[in-house]
Amino acid sequence: MATLRKIPNTLRNQILILFTTVMIIVLLAVGLLTYNLVTDILKENAEIQLEQTAQEQVNRIDSQFDTIDLISAQIATNSSVQQILTSQREGRMPSFTERQSMQEIANNYQAYTSGVRAFEMYFPNYARLYPLNELMLPGRIDPGWIEEADEQNGRLVWAGADPYDQNAYLTIRQINLMEKDFSLGGYLVTKVNRNYFNVENQLSDYDTNDDQTLTILFDQADQYITSNFTQDVLMDLNVEETERTVQIDGAEYIQVHAESDETGFTLTMYSPVNSLLQGITGIGTAIAVAAIAGTILFMMVSLKISRIITSPVEELTSAMKRTREGELVRTPEISSTKEMNELNHSYNEMVDQTNYLIKAVYEKELIRSRAELKALQAQINPHFLFNTLEALYWSVEEIDQNSAEMIITMSDLFRYTITDHGPDEDWVLLKDEFDHNEDYLKIMKLRFGDDLNWTIDLPLELQDWPIPKLLIQPLVENAVLHGLCNQPERGHISLKASLQSNSQNVLVTIEDDGAGMHEEKLKNLFSDSHDYVSRSGKKHKSIAMHNIMERIIRTYPQLERNEAIVISSIRNKGTTVQLKLPHKGVENDD
């Protein structure tokens, strides 16, 4: 009959049990730490991805808002609208036919976008011009928005939900009379479709899970605009929650906020944590399999090591027994140092292998996360702006060739401003910068007519000279708006470039024969901000010269401030500004 035997309490078994227990604890600790670390990394990467997606959606909403702004601005400056409102300002009320003609104008502009449902126009006394009914403006829109439109002086104001149509929102802007020194001529109210900013349609353009990602949009007054929430979830949602994760309908969601600097709109996105951590199950399984395999392997190695350690002891014990029985034998030479080194070597190999497996899993996941993050960093290319200008060009080409050419010039101006110029997008060629400023002067000539003239002198050998993008344009703009704008006589602007003798520097000179500056104003030009008085008589803060100086000094650290920009000005004679621009990558040798 077989007999049951207990596990003997030998040194070999004690070493085996001790080593195996320690290894299991180590593998469990490493596995748990690895699992938590990978989980945190996935959450952080998902949060970054969600923030970028939210910002891209805000940018798109800004673009849609700009489209409404552009169309309503075109209606406000339409010659027929301006003529009717100017006549009313002079005391002549428009006829029924003139008021009826506003419908054709509104329909023509309304065709440019599907987001606009209707346009409404009002006189300065709040009486309605179009459509033809007697509803006054304060009865149509909250008076607070009318005051806001007056303060914005012609800029578009978002006015929230339409009180008479639950499927629409309203915007309002002043109509300023160009022939009356841009004084108040009336108001333009735009009726926008409620689904114009539909976030469900926009989410399909991004790498998100449309069925699980939740989005809600509020205006600058924290009033609800749109979302893809169900009504019951929306009523229970606390949008002021600031924690990283929130509970929605019993599930944990990561939340991010993105606010528009242009409109003040706030977009909040929620993504379920479970969907972000779908790949963590496979990682947990891999860690568990590695731990089990490591445990089995370590038990085998521990058994072998315990035998190596205890064999000399057993042989010595056996020899001592035989000695006690009277048999004298020589014990084999042993070296405990060698066996301990072997044990240590085996253990280190096990640890190295375990760390290698953990590091391989971590690096693979990190590379995949970085690839996903890079895929979400693509910028929205504003093709809609160029397409709109091109459509305007074709619509007016046969009617007014000069206006069509100005539209093309404006398109070139915008394209240069917002389009990247190759891998080194902050640098452009001098000829491109001069062409851009000439486009700007052409557009300014629409305002000043024959009172504005200019000459541009760019030697052929300097056309490919690299300079920071948009460095010269603020100076040309200052020459027009602060130099020539404040004098009644005809003005001239000179823009030229020349190579400084005995150096690798280009001198760019902007000269005007305008109003000039007094000595005190000249001294304050490079302060953080200084006041200037516009043509309308209002004071404004200007930081342009300060920013240009800081930009040149940071781009060309070898330049001193007193040589980077040199300005001379004489009252009623004009102003001359000279920039010193070394070649890119070349030290100044002055």
Give me the amino acid identity at 528.
D
Measured CA distances, 417 to 301, 421, 432, 437, 548 (Å): 69, 10, 11, 11, 16
CATH, range 420-582? 3.30.565.10
268: which strand partners?
216, 257
Show the beta-strand stretches assigned E in 194-280: 214-218, 224-227, 245-248, 251-259, 266-272
The whole-number pLDDT of residue 393 equals 58
Beta carbons within 8 Å of 392's beta carbon, 6+ residues apart:
407
What is the model's pLDDT at position 456? 94
Mean pLDDT by 10 residues, the chain (590 residues): 55 72 81 77 78 85 87 88 87 85 83 83 89 85 90 89 88 89 90 80 48 78 78 62 73 83 84 69 72 77 69 55 52 51 48 58 70 45 54 61 70 69 76 90 84 92 91 89 78 91 87 86 72 53 75 88 89 90 66
Rounded (10°) angle between helices 11-76 and 280-324: 170
CB distance 272 to 253 below 8 Å? yes
CA distance 316 to 310: 10
Q: CATH 3.30.565.10 in the chain, residues?
A: 420-582
Q: What angle do CA 116, 118, 120 make, to 5 degrees?
A: 130
Q: Which segments of the chain belong to CATH 3.30.450.20?
A: 77-197
- pLDDT score for 1: 40
CB within 8 A of 459, min separation 6: which ones?
497, 498, 499
Let me know: does 129 contact 99? Beta carbons within 8 Å.
yes
Tokens encoding 544: 């342009």
Q: Which CATH code of 3.40.470.10, 3.90.1150.10, 3.40.140.10, 3.30.450.20 fits the domain covering 77-197?
A: 3.30.450.20
